[in-house]
Amino acid sequence: MRNTDPDEKERSYRSRLKERKRIVVKIGSSSLHHMTTGELNLTKMERLVRELCELKNQGKDVILVSSGAIAVGRKVMNINPSEKDIPVKQACAAVGQARLMMIYQKLFAEYNHTTAQILMTKHTIVDEINRRNAHNTFTQLLKMGVIPVVNENDTVAIHEVEDTIGDNDFLSAVVANLVGADLLILLSDIDGLYTDDPRSNKDAGFISLVEDLNDVMDMGKESTGSNIGTGGMSAKLHAATVAVNAGTDMVIANGKDVSVIHKITEGRFYGTLFKSRKDDSFDIADYIDKM
């Protein structure tokens, strides 16, 4: 959704997004697949890669956090494991991650850009040495002009296992914190933050700007509109907590049309903008441990 009546304060905040130099973009499974068949939406993936390459061509650092490994794997293997079939889901993730990365590599190469795969777990962040090593890897890849593609390592970390981060909304905020990103864009199946779930409440009001997270934390919904994705609004608000405290502006926008990426980075009024408020005392490892 586009805010057609922004005030001067929001105009100022949005305009500053044009200056952002290190951008993390997260796209979920529901945005990558055809809902009727479960197959990858290759047209949308190509448009997504083109958007990211254009940001890179403008001199910006770009990181993609992409879901989809388990969904791709179970489609390839023609199985639909239950939530309790953890080994089967892990096997699907292993198959799907390889297939997903192969497609990303081919698409990025068509635009003359190099990509790399980074798989993370909770232990990557809460362990100081692992966190430093991950930071060094990201830093070097960005210096080399590479566009990292990040996912949680679902082959060894599923929700029932303690080493999981949980979902890629939160993972993308963790990555933004780790690399010192100044903008995080969450592409979702919803236009942004509402006062209630607009799918069930037609009177729900759209919120285009959030300056204080304390005003909206009770609006989080655990549900998602897709049987493919895992992240609801609650996860996105936890992601916002990590992002804004790290000094990263965050925008939740509808990923139905991925051209919204360049519209946001041009300072246009799409999605919900969470204004950053850097807090040097914020400890991400401690925050994750308490979740």
DSSP code of residue 19: G
Asked, for residue 179, whether it belongs to a domain, the answer is: yes
What pLDDT was estimated at residue 164?
53
Separation in Å, CA 130 to CA 53, 121, 174:
29, 10, 14
Residues present in the chain in total: 291
73 and 96 Cβ atoms separated by less than 8 Å:
yes
The amino acid at 289: D
92 and 79 Cβ atoms separated by less than 8 Å:
yes
What pLDDT was estimated at residue 94?
92
Q: Beta partners for 254?
A: 188
| Distance of alpha carbon 66 from alpha carbon 57, whole angstroms | 21
pLDDT tens digits in sequence order for the chain, 291 residues long: 676 677 899 999 999 999 999 999 999 888 898 888 889 999 999 999 999 999 999 999 999 999 888 889 999 999 987 777 888 888 998 999 999 999 999 999 999 999 999 999 888 888 889 999 999 999 999 999 999 999 988 777 655 444 456 678 999 999 999 999 999 999 988 899 998 888 788 888 899 999 999 888 877 555 444 443 334 678 889 999 999 999 999 999 999 999 999 999 999 999 999 999 998 888 887 888 776
What pLDDT was estimated at residue 162?
43
Asked, for residue 1, whether it belongs to a domain, the answer is: no
Asked, for residue 36, whether it belongs to a domain, the answer is: yes
Asked, for residue 2, whether it belongs to a domain, the answer is: no
Separation in Å, CA 261 to CA 64, 108, 227, 273:
12, 17, 24, 13
| Distance of alpha carbon 52 from alpha carbon 264, whole angstroms | 13
Asked, for residue 267, whether it belongs to a domain, the answer is: yes
The amino acid at 159: H
Asked, for residue 239, whether it belongs to a domain, the answer is: yes
Domain range for 52: 8-290
Pair type for strands 147-152 and 61-66: parallel
Asked, for residue 3, whether it belongs to a domain, the answer is: no
| Distance of alpha carbon 174 from alpha carbon 235, whole angstroms | 12
278 and 24 Cβ atoms separated by less than 8 Å:
no
Instruction: Convert the pLDDT of each residue in 103-113 to its tens digit.
Output: 999 999 999 99
| Distance of alpha carbon 263 from alpha carbon 251, whole angstroms | 12
SS3 category, 99: helix
Other CB atoms within a 10 A radius of the CB of residue 261 amount to: 26
95: phi then psi, degrees, rounded to nearest 5: -65, -45
Question: What is the pTM (predicted TM-score) of this model?
Answer: 0.91
Q: How many domains does the chain have?
A: 1
Closest listed residue to residue 44, CA positions, set 22, 64, 69, 27: 27
| Distance of alpha carbon 251 from alpha carbon 228, whole angstroms | 22
Asked, for residue 265, whether it belongs to a domain, the answer is: yes
Which contiguous run of DSSP H or E holds residue 24?
Answer: strand 22-27
Instruction: Convert the pLDDT of each residue in 17-60 to its tens digit.
Output: 999 999 999 998 888 988 888 899 999 999 999 999 999 999 99
- Structural tokens at position 12: 């100022």
Here the CATH number for the domain that contains residue 15 is: 3.40.1160.10
